[in-house]
A and B are shown apart, each in its own frame.
Chain A
Amino acid sequence: MVVAGAAGFAGIVAMHTGGAPSILTGTGPSTPVTSSPSTTSPAKPPTGAASSAVGTAEQYGYGVLAVKVTVQGGRITDVSTSKLQTAEQYSQSLAQQVIPMLRNEILSAQSAHINAISGATYTSEAYAYSVQSALDALGVK
């Protein structure tokens, strides 16, 4: 994977608790874990050279991971898992690969006009961040 080059790209993809990448959020509450070029030239406009940024390491369902984004010519050319700490074999097999895109995935649950969400059982703590809790809050109005 291409990692080298000047960092003209500040975007960060991070895994939040539960596994959501917030694409291009800029810097989060914590600083990026690593950045492959040790010196950065912030004002440099995107060129043909590839550059990459690593998101903040985040706890998610199976452990800790950070996602690395490689940009070339102003376009994302690669997304990969950069840092991984998992206790489980299962987590390794899942997290070492790029998060797959589904055929018809709907990134904005809010736009789908749904009555409820079905998914693997969430804990009481995870409910607070779930789409179902948002639907419940909307229904109260």
Chain B
Amino acid sequence: MIVHAEEVMGTVVSFHVEPGECPAVEAHTALEAACTRLHELDDIFSTWKPGSALNRFRAGILRLPQAPPEMALVLELCDEARALSQGWFDPWAMPGGFDPTGLVKGWATEQALGILELACVESAMVNGGGDIALFGLPKNSAAWRIGIRHPWRPDALACVLKADRAVATSGCYERGPHLINPKNGRMLFRTASATVVGSSLPLCDALATALVAAEDAGPELVRSLDGYEAYVIGVGGEEDATEGIVFATEGVR
């Protein structure tokens, strides 16, 4: 297995690649291309780099036709995610202006995986700082087993879930309060951690962000979306999951 950790997008993106029949040199080339792509997207969408296309777009200096084509694509994805989340994910309601961060990291991570998938590797896992894109199956295993980080114990897990394409989790325990309720501007939530499992990582990412704000309405919101499931932990430690979440119990102590 090829393992690589790339520092990008203010976090670390981990790659686990099983080349299988794919020649090692091709797998490595794809891995390099995936990392290059992540840096390109970071340059466009970073909210920290003053000269990023996103910051210039927000400031009105850069207009959409002049922006990299990715900008229009992300605007479209954000619009779609806002509708699917019934307004609980709303990049246009952020205090500093349009901020697609809650979707872009998942989208970028999924693109990195796509580059590996096109190279015909046997299987791959890309973890963009907690948002996971999956392809194929891990070696000697029938399913990917994804540990959900315990919101208050960084070295422990809340549970283990099975997934085959995408898993994203949101919460304020890593970087402090940075999420806001787009409907009333509040930053105080009764949800400590929200995980969404599904097929599209950018949508999982946006929905996980939405679920923190949606609090009690969250699981019901995800039930309305075919192929998406949710696992939520409240600040009191209470847990809720939609019916399709598959918990891994074997081998878990």
Contacts and interface: CB of A to CB of B under 8 A. Distances in A.
Interface in A106-121: 106-109, 111-121
B207 interface: no
A90 B171 contact: no
Sorting the interface of chain B by its residue count into under 10, 10 to 19, 20 to 34 or 35 or more gives 35 or more
Given A19-B154, A88-B177, A113-B145, A118 B3 contact: no
Of A99, A109, A116, the most chain B CB neighbours within 10 A belong to A116
A20 B153 contact: yes
Interface string B169-189: 111111111000000000111
B130 A106 contact: no
A120 B149 contact: yes
B122 to A, nearest CB: 14
A108 to B, nearest CB: 7
29 contacts: A16-B154, A20-B152, A62-B173, A62-B177, A89-B188, A94-B235, A102-B239, A104-B158, A105-B153, A106-B160, A107-B156, A112-B147, A113-B145, A114-B147, A114-B160, A118-B132, A118-B146, A118-B147, A118-B148, A118-B161, A118-B168, A118-B195, A120-B170, A122-B11, A123-B11, A132-B12, A132-B127, A133-B12, A136-B5
Given A18-B173, A119-B174, A122-B130, 16 more contacts: A19-B154, A90-B187, A104-B159, A112-B160, A113-B145, A114-B147, A116-B147, A118-B148, A118-B149, A120-B169, A121-B175, A126-B154, A126-B174, A127-B5, A127-B11, A133-B5
Interface of B: 1, 3, 5, 7, 10-12, 14, 16, 105, 125, 127-132, 138, 141, 144-161, 167-177, 187-189, 192-193, 195, 233, 235-239, 247, 251-253
